[in-house]
A and B are shown apart, each in its own frame.
Chain A
Amino acid sequence: MRTLRIRADLSLVREGAEVAIGFGLRSLEGLGGVAEFLQHAVYERGSLRASGGSVVFTLRNPPLRMGAFGSVRVALDGVWAPPDRSWVQPGEGSPRVSLATIDRTHPVTLPIGRRTLFTLGGVDRTARKRHVRLELISVAIPPLVWYEFVDELRPEATPR
Chain B
Amino acid sequence: VRGSRDPPPLLRLDRPDASVPVLVTGLSAAAVLSGDGTLRCLRETRGGMIDWGGVYSQGVRLTGPWDLRVSTGGAPADLAGTLRSLEAWRWSVRTLHVVAPGLEVEQTIVPFPESPGVGRCIRLRNPTDADLSVVVESEATPFLAPVLIEGLKPYEFDLEAGPNGVACTTHGHFLGLASSPFPTSRTLDGRPWFGEHWTGELRALVARYELHLAPGAIARIDQVAWGGVARALGVGAEFGRTALAAADSWEAAGRRTWGAWLAGTPSLSFPSDPVLERAYGLARGALRALYTRPDPEITGLVAGYPWYCALWGRDLAWMLPAVLWLGDADWAQESLRTIFRYQATRPIPILAAEAGELPMQVSPGPVFLFGTSDTTLYYPDVLRRFVAHTGRGELVHELWPHLCEIVRWADAKLDPSNGLFTNGGEVLALRDAAENLGAVHYGIDAPDTTIWDSADRRDHAVDLQVLLHVARASLVALATDARRLSELPGSGVDLRSLAQQVRTRYAWPEERYLFDSLARDGTPSRRLRPNALRAVSAGLLDIAAARAVVDRALETDLTAEWGVRTLSNRDPTYDPQAYHGGQVWTIATAWAADAAFAVGDAERGVRLLRTIAGLLEAEHGLANECYRGDRPEAFDSCFLLGFSVAPFLTVLFERLWGLQVDASRPMLRVAPQFPSAWTGASLAGLSVGTGRVDLTWTPGSLTVRWTGPGPLELSAGAGTSTVPENGTATVRLVP
Q: Chain A: interface secondary structure? A: mixed
Q: Whole-angstrom distance between the alpha carbons of A157 and B447 in the complex?
A: 43
Answer whether residue B21 sits at the interface, using C-beta atoms and an 8 A cutoff.
no
Chain A residues with CB under 8 A of B581: 142
Residues of chain B lying within 8 A (CB to CB) of residue A79: none
* Bound-complex Cα distance A62 to B146 (A): 15
A26-B442 contact given A66-B45, A141-B579, CB 8 Å threshold:
no
Of B49, B350, B368, B454, most A-chain CB atoms within 10 Å: B350
Question: Does B237 sit within 8 A of A, measured CB to CB?
Answer: no
Query: Are B443's CB and A8's CB within 8 A?
Result: no
- B47 touching A9 by the CB < 8 A rule? no
The docked-state distance in angstroms from the alpha carbon of A138 to that of B346 is: 34
> Any chain A CB within 8 A of the CB of B152?
yes
Complex: how many Å from CA A3 to CA B148? 33
Q: Give residues of chain A (56-114) contacting chain B, Cβ–Cβ below 8 Å.
A: 60-68, 70, 107, 109-110, 112-113
The answer to whether B441 touches A34 (Cβ under 8 A) is no
Asked whether A61 and B46 contact (CB < 8 A) given A141-B579, A146-B443, the answer is no
Q: What does the 1/0 interface line of A122-160 toward B look like (CB < 8 Å)?
A: 000000000000000011111111111111000000000
Which B residues are CB-close (under 8 A) to A141?
46, 454, 578-579, 636
CB pair B439–A12 under 8 Å, yes or no, is: no
Choose among A15, A27, A39, A139 the residue that contacts B577 (Cβ–Cβ < 8 A).
A139
Contact of B366 with A61 in the complex, beta carbons under 8 Å: no
* A60 to B152 alpha-carbon distance, docked (Å): 8
Question: Which residues in chain B, 454-495, are within 8 Å of chain A measured between CB atoms?
Answer: 454-455
Expressed in whole angstroms, the Cα–Cα distance for A68 and B64 within the complex equals 20
Alpha-carbon separation in the docked complex, A60 to B151 (Å): 11
Contacts of B366 in A (CB 8 A): 23, 26-27, 30
**With contact pairs A30-B365, A42-B442 given, residues A143 and B344 touching in the complex (Cβ less than 8 Å):** no
- Residues of A with C-beta under 8 A to B171: 33, 36-37
| Cα distance, A26 to B454, chains bound together (Å) | 31
CA distance A73 to B442 in the complex (A): 15
B521 contacts the other chain (Cβ, under 8 Å)? no
Cβ distance B344 to chain A, nearest Cβ, rounded Å: 7
Known: A27-B365, A66-B45. A34 touches B146 (CB 8 A): yes
- B152 in contact with A38 (CB, 8 Å): yes
Given known A-B contacts A19-B348, A140-B578, A107 and B48 have beta carbons under 8 A apart: yes
Counting from the closest, the 8 A-B pairs by CB-CB distance are A67-B46, A30-B365, A66-B151, A109-B48, A113-B153, A68-B47, A8-B436, A139-B47
20 A/B residue pairs, CB under 8 Å, sorted by A: A22-B345, A26-B231, A26-B366, A29-B365, A30-B229, A31-B351, A33-B365, A37-B145, A42-B152, A60-B155, A66-B151, A109-B49, A113-B152, A139-B47, A140-B577, A140-B578, A141-B578, A142-B575, A143-B454, A145-B445
